[in-house]
């Protein structure tokens, strides 16, 4: 028996990367999982790779109507919703001098507003489930230790962390059994990371530069982040809410 038997998880950004790794970990622990992503083609393949107890739905996380649809699809398919993992996100490099309005708006829409919309869309179904529920939002090492070349990313993720803590406080102090926590990955080997590697001229040198920002001296794997998400999504962390959990080889506290 898994610790998440009887639980239903909706995961965004689940067509690949950290979202899909988290779906696998939750599914292996007994949860039924609804994969949600804007990328329909990769979604179908991802759902097929998990199999029984897994379904997929297209979601544009920046749209409240799309969120409503994803929650309704989850309830219709699996009869409830107890876990929400917000992993959809974008990261485009720009500093204070080069940041354009479009990039700023995109980061705010996907990394911040979408997470608030998701928490709001999921809350009524979670309250109706009668079970202890959990929301896990994927932030970043860069919200704990901002970097100059990623101003919109750092700011949008930091705002999302503040929103997560506000929601955690609201639920806790109103005795609503929904915990909200954030996971803060360092550089993790996913399609997002590969896009950054592709921007460098020399793959090995770019990888080494990323690894050097983590005192453990390497890049992380999506499965390592998935285990942190599993911990926060499950009753293993039943007294933990409003917390930030780094998964970054000590990157956020490096010299
Ligand atoms: N990979 C890293 O190094 C790293 C480091 C720190 C934080 N993170 C965070 O982890 C999360 C997952 O990142 P990843 O590395 O798996 O990235 P990824 O690019 O591999 O996956 C992100 C997913 O989000 C989806 N998405 C984008 N916009 C969407 C929208 N509007 N609606 C629904 N889905 C949308 C994409 O289609 C994609 O499948 C992100 O929030 C990211 O910011 C990643």
pLDDT digits over 164-215, tens only? 999 999 999 999 999 999 999 999 999 999 999 999 899 999 999 999 999 9
- Domain holding 42, by residue range, is 8-185+220-246
Q: Is the CB of 191 under 6 A from ligand 1?
A: yes
With 90 as the cut, is the pLDDT of residue 16 above it? Answer: yes
**Stretch (H or E) spanning 160:** helix 151-173
223 pLDDT band, cuts 50/70/90, is: very high
Percent of the chain scoring above 70 in pLDDT? 100
Q: What's the pLDDT score for residue 1?
A: 80
pLDDT one-digit tens code per residue, 80-94: 999 999 999 999 999
Q: Is the CB of 92 under 6 A from ligand 1?
A: no
Nearest-CA residue for atom 16 of ligand 1: 17
Q: What is the CATH number of the domain that holds 155?
A: 3.40.50.720
> Is position 154 within any domain?
yes
> Is position 252 within any domain?
no
> Is position 207 within any domain?
no
Q: Is the CB of 115 under 6 A from ligand 1?
A: no
Distance 77 CA to ligand 1 centre (A): 25
Percent of the chain scoring above 90 in pLDDT? 99
Distance 120 CA to ligand 1 centre (A): 20
> Is position 198 within any domain?
no
Q: Choose which residue among 65, 71, 87, 115 to substitute to test ligand 1 binding: the one with the highest number of ligand atoms within 8 A of its C-beta.
A: 87
Q: What's the pLDDT score for residue 140?
A: 98
pLDDT one-digit tens code per residue, 100-150: 999 999 999 999 999 999 999 999 999 999 999 999 999 999 999 999 999
Q: What's the pLDDT score for residue 84?
A: 99
Q: Is the pTM of this model over 0.95?
A: yes
> Is position 77 within any domain?
yes
- Angle at which helices 17-28 and 222-233 cross, to 10°: 50
> Is position 29 within any domain?
yes
Q: What's the pLDDT score for residue 41?
A: 95
Q: What is the per-residue DSSP string for 16-77?
A: SHHHHHHHHHHHHTT-EEEEEES-HHHHHHHHHHH-TTEEEEE--TT-HHHHHHHHHHHHHH
Total structural domains in the chain?
1
> Is position 239 within any domain?
yes
Nearest-CA residue for atom 18 of ligand 1: 192
Active site residue 153: yes
Mean predicted lDDT score pLDDT of the chain? 98
> Is position 14 within any domain?
yes
């Amino acid at each position: 028996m898994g610790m998440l038997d009887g639980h239903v998880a909706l995961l965004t950004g689940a067509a690949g990367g950290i979202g899909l790794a988290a779906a696998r970990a939750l599914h292996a622990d007994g949860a039924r999982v609804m994969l949600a992503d804007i990328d329909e083609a990769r979604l179908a393949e991802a759902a097929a790779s998990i199999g029984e107890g897994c379904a997929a739905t297209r979601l544009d996380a920046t749209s409240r109507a799309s969120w409503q649809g994803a929650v309704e699809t989850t309830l219709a398919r699996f009869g409830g919703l107890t876990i929400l993992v917000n992993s959809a996100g974008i990261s485009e490099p720009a500093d204070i001098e080069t940041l354009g309005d479009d990039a700023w708006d995109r980061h705010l829409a996907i990394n911040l507003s979408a997470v608030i919309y998701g928490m709001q869309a999921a809350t009524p179904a979670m309250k109706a489930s009668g079970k202890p529920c959990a929301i896990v939002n994927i932030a970043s090492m860069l919200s704990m230790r901002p970097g100059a070349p990623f101003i919109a990313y750092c700011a949008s993720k930091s705002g999302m962390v503040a929103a997560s803590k506000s929601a955690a406080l609201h639920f806790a102090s109103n005795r609503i059994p929904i915990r909200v926590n954030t996971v803060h990955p360092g550089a993790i080997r996913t399609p997002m990371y590969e896009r950054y590697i592709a921007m460098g001229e020399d793959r090995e040198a770019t990888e080494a530069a990323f690894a050097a920002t983590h005192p453990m001296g390497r890049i992380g794997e999506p499965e390592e982040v998935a285990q942190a998400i599993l911990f926060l999504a499950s009753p293993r962390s039943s007294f933990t809410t409003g917390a930030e959990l780094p998964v970054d080889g000590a990157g956020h506290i490096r010299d």
